[in-house]
Chains A and B, each alone.
Chain A
Amino acid sequence: MKKILGFLVLALVLVISACSSDSDSGKKPEKGGENADGAVEIFSWWTGAGEEDGLLALIDLFNELHPDIEVKNAAVAGGAGTNAKAVLATRMQGNDPPSTFQVHGGEELNKSWVAADKMAPLNDLYKENDWMDKFPEALIDLVSNEGNIYSVPVNIHRGNVMFYNMEVFEKHGIEVPTTLDEFFTVAEKLKDAGVTPLALGDKETWEATQIFENLLAAELGTADYIKLFSGEIEFTDSRVVSAAEKFGKILDYVNDDHASRNWQDSAQLVAEGEAAMLNMGDWAKGYFVNDLKLVTNEDFGYFAFPGTDGDFAVITDTFGLPKGVENVEATKQFLTVLGSVEGQDAFNPLKGSIPARIDADPSKYDDYGKDTIEDFKTANLFPSLAHGSAASEGFVTKANQAVNIFVTQRDVDNFIDALQNAAPDM
């Protein structure tokens, strides 16, 4: 009995200490709120190399413009944003929202915090700053719901990029494939030569889902891709089935140990020449250049995922204004800087993304960036599924589970069934 009592006391101490630390952190923003403007708390998962530098540069710029407003960087590390999202959910549900937080444009924003009526519309901010024609229309649609705009996009990443090892391509006399048929011919040739045609690291599953979403775009075209995720086209559509079949076929060309690798590990396979190609969002360029010290267009090249030339899988980080924050004006000031040309050009070159605005200064970006800024202006945009823009996070979670099972079992019927069953959650 004594032991049990001891445990109870210990548990009590833990509970009390947990409570007290909780209430401490809960009170601080309130205290800040009593100041003239109050601190702007910026919540994100930007803690990695490059992205953190970008965020800090942005904060520096803001401090320069508004020395009277204090900025707090409340970044939460780990889990590609999962940890941050868990913390954010707790704070939002507990009515203790950060002043502004990172959220992918699209359904990750609309189907969650907007649907829960936790976000304030920013239409006036857009009007004041004359932003309506500074961002592409399709992008503004992505952060809007029923005529109201809910967040400010800061950057754009492209998801349908194929990176390749130029030396490997040259050695085996391979041309860049532009259609899926060409891709499969090339893959066969590489496989015969003993090179892994496509590097994959799907330890976290979304890497595989990203391949599937690009196949969907290739088979359906961007217009019907968007219809698919708005529920106007069923997952039983023959073109979706065909995308699933091709997905299975592509998986025959990936490295055997894909389940033990994350995307960086798979990028290394391409860098070392063990694998020829990698489908990854263009944050992989930052990894190649900054971490692996490779040179763009010398060591590695890039092309649009076969069949999606002229299309652009959008992954955009945006910041909105939660309802119930105390320092609305200061937060709006921050969002204004975030959406300005200076803000976007301070952040994006360091992060390795391109600006969401179409009038930013291309000379501040590297070759890849300039290319992509050009593509972005004319391409057909489609929202990424793997990164939460095309469908609700609930559907994305279930789609990832279906993909995980499919990667091993290759059962197309089962896969289509699972997606169709999850469709009501989109």
Chain B
Amino acid sequence: MEKDIPVRRKRKLSNDHLTAIAFLLPSVILILVFVYGFISWTGYLSLSNYNTIVPDFSFAGLKNYFYLFNDFRFQADLRNTLFFTILFIGAVIVLGLGLAILLDQKLKGESIFRNIFLFPMALSFIVTGVVWQWLLHPSTGFNKFLIHFGIEPKWYTDTTILAGFKWGSIEFGLPVAIIAVVVAAVWQMTGFSLAMYLAGLRGIDEELREAARMDGASEFQVYRKIVLPILMPITMSVVIIMAHISLKIFDLIYAMTGSGANFVTDVPGLYMFETTFRGNYYANGAAIAIIMLLLVAVFIVPYLWNSRKGER
């Protein structure tokens, strides 16, 4: 049997395969160099002493990582990212699904609504950031209206940490200011999950629902027992896509709030940019990049693994 294998392989290398390989090879090489090569280089930099503008590639071990995990700002970043991700993904799923179900009720002018909800997605995060910075400005924007009702939220300038307790050098809890940023991000990205859920809903055979109704299921039960389970793969995709956006978020926060007082709206992306290009701490910046890569990988790798199994 073992001897058979090379023979079979040889036979498989038909002209078609050779052409395919020839066409793929340049791109494979380019990706190996420009994507994975540079990722490895960043990984090496994160273990080096390159923290001034003068290059110093000597090996530093995990020094930069220890520095970051002891750093107030980075601890705050991880906290903010955690809460931002949870709130953002939660809200995008609930709102997207809710709107999709409403739009799926065969109402008139559905396409108009669909477009209205999808429009924010056409904007860049920078535009969204600037607009919401004005809307949620504590002295202008919504507060000009809310003040008539005696409330004046401080939005993204609020430095309170809800349910906070001391952990490391930071106060761990939900930073109120991050909610303002979540509002802006959700406003922009809900249309995307709406579109995905709507497509999913359209893909469900009406017969399935009919059958459930024949069996005496209430409309609520139809959704809970039939529709939602069928939409599960879509929810998975939405979670993955939103998670990688929220873990890497930079532009929205850069345009809208910056790091915020006491770093209540800071995120690893901002820290990486500032420490690398403002402070010339290249190794620290590389370490942040690697940590971000690992965070995203936590979401992406199981997903890729799963979809690979599905394809087989």
Contact = CB atoms under 8 A, between A and B. Distances in A.
Interface of A: 1, 8-9, 11-12, 15-16, 82, 85-86, 89, 93, 111-113, 115-117, 202-205, 256-260, 392-394, 396-398, 401, 404-405, 407-409, 425
B137 A260 contact: yes
B279 A393 contact: yes
B278 A85 contact: yes
Contact of A394 (B51, B139, B159): B51
Interface of A is mostly: helix
Contacts of A398: 279
A409 B262 CA distance: 8
8 contacts: A112-B52, A257-B137, A260-B139, A260-B157, A393-B53, A401-B73, A405-B262, A408-B261
Contact of A9 (B27, B34, B133, B137): B27
B164 to A, nearest CB: 13
B34 A82 contact: no
A12 B159 CA distance: 44
A102 B301 CA distance: 45
Contact of B277 (A89, A256, A260, A408): A89
B181 to A, nearest CB: 13
A11 B34 CA distance: 10
B72 interface: yes
Interface of B is mostly: helix
Interface of B: 26-27, 30-31, 34-35, 51-55, 72-73, 133, 137-139, 154-157, 159, 257-263, 273-275, 277-281, 311
Contacts of B26: 12
Contacts of A115: 52-54
A216 B277 CA distance: 27
Contact of B275 (A8, A16, A202, A397): A397
B311 A397 contact: no
B271 to A, nearest CB: 9
A260 B156 contact: yes
A204 B258 contact: yes
Given A392-B52, A396-B279, 7 more contacts: A12-B30, A89-B277, A257-B157, A392-B280, A397-B278, A404-B259, A408-B262
Nearest to B265: A259
A44 to B, nearest CB: 17
Given A12-B30, A89-B53, A257-B157, A112 B280 contact: yes
Contact of B278 (A9, A82, A409, A425): A82
Contacts of A202: 261
A113 B31 contact: no
A418 B72 CA distance: 10
A1 B259 contact: no
Contact of A397 (B133, B155, B263, B279): B279
Contact of A259 (B35, B51, B261, B275): B261
